[in-house]
Amino acid sequence: MSLNSIDELLPLSQLGFGKYYGKYMIEATHKDGQWQPWALTELHKFEMHPGSKTLHYAQEIFEGLKAYKQAGGISMFRPDANITRMSLSAEYLAMPPYPEAEFMAGLKALVHKLAHLTPELPGSLYLRPTMIGNSNSLGVAPASEYLFYILACPVGGYFGDVSSDKPATISIWISDKHVRAAHGGLGAAKTGANYAASLRAVAESKKLGFTNVMFLDAVERRYLEELSGMNVFVVDRGVLKTPPLGDTILAGVTRDSLIKIARHLKIEVQETPIAVDEMLKSIASGSVSEVFACGTASVITSIAELGWRGERIRVANGQAGPVATKLYQNLCGMHAGTTTPIAPEWLVKCK
């Protein structure tokens, strides 16, 4: 099996998302109750006991963030937020958090080493910190040994068609049949289990001709939660609305950035429950003029069409709306280093 590693950059059109890996990785082990220092190594395969905890009980967490090429070098966007979220995910999965200062140092070292593999915008170097429980006794219990590693992938657009002027558009099926997360569960953690729970729903959405799925709350199956890998916003009479965070939604770094950018641009923002029936009525009346999703992989993606109980509902004229476009340009400007970030620490220079 090939590692699909590259040491020379390919054209953006060939990169795709997560197809090719940089030739180096960061790796650290947790043994005898403590983390050992990380090492920068060549990307390599793991030898694993078939009884490894991660393979049986899904004790696994990960993160996703990007480094961008700018005029003066290469910077990561808000890595501290991803590091904090990974510590929270570790808590949910009963894992030992990776020390945050060393985590940041590892990210910087990897991006520095792979600077030549960071594509021009709208491409980026996608970073994938991962932690797995790796001891091998089959009892259901937290592992006694862990592996932490960071992979790097030069990437183009998640949905293929990327532009820094305007978000791509997709269609979304709203499912009242599948549940991603319930209160008291793992919904706020970035763990593989949540993605496993979404795969069947995503497959069904594709069978119905949509790009992805929107999950509703597990109790009433009425309130918007999020997509399988993105948070959601609607624009209702000029007010930007998004479901409030809780233990069933992943607290997206992009979601948080957009809220802060919108407030900076004097756009009113409300974190408020959004009922699917009311949203659809408001789309029909024209008061909801935009629905869009956001996340590190695709930044902002406008939702042109929604599917609900056998109907297909177009959102406004099916194009990316002015609020999504303005926020997209603003955030992409920060990635490019041409727009001043909301706070200077949002950009962390690696080279």
Q: How far is the CB of 141 from ligand PLP (least distance, A)?
A: 27
**Which of 22, 133, 167, 295 touches ligand PLP by CB under 6 A?**
295
Nearer of residues 9 and 132 to ligand PLP, judged by Cβ: 132
**Which of 97, 252, 307, 341 touches ligand PLP by CB under 6 A?**
252
Asked if 250 interacts with ligand PLP (CB under 6 A), we say yes
The answer to whether the beta carbons of residues 82 and 67 sit under 8 Å apart is no
Residue list 260-289, contact with ligand PLP (CB under 6 A): none
Asked if 230 interacts with ligand PLP (CB under 6 A), we say yes
Nearer of residues 6 and 193 to ligand PLP, judged by Cβ: 193
Euclidean distance between CA atoms 229 and 290, whole angstroms: 19
User: In the block, which residue shows the tokens 């209160």?
Assistant: 183
Q: How far is the CB of 209 from ligand PLP (least distance, A)?
A: 22
CA atoms within 13 A on the CB side of 52: 17
Give the binding range for ligand PLP (CB under 6 A) out of 19-27, 67-75, 143-151, 229-237: 229-237
Q: How far is the CB of 237 from ligand PLP (least distance, A)?
A: 25
The CA-based angle 7-10-12, given to 5 degrees, is 135
The answer to whether the beta carbons of residues 22 and 130 sit under 8 Å apart is no
Q: How far is the CB of 161 from ligand PLP (least distance, A)?
A: 19
Give the binding range for ligand PLP (CB under 6 A) out of 5-13, 116-124, 128-136, 225-233: 225-233
The answer to whether the beta carbons of residues 61 and 93 sit under 8 Å apart is yes
Asked if 154 interacts with ligand PLP (CB under 6 A), we say no
Asked if 60 interacts with ligand PLP (CB under 6 A), we say no
Assigned token pair, 299: 């930044």
DSSP state of 65: E
Spatial neighbors of 290 by CB under 8 A, at least 6 apart, are 233, 234, 235, 302, 315, 316, 320, 321, 322, 323, 324
Interface positions with ligand PLP (CB under 6 A): 64, 226, 229-231, 250, 252-255, 295-296
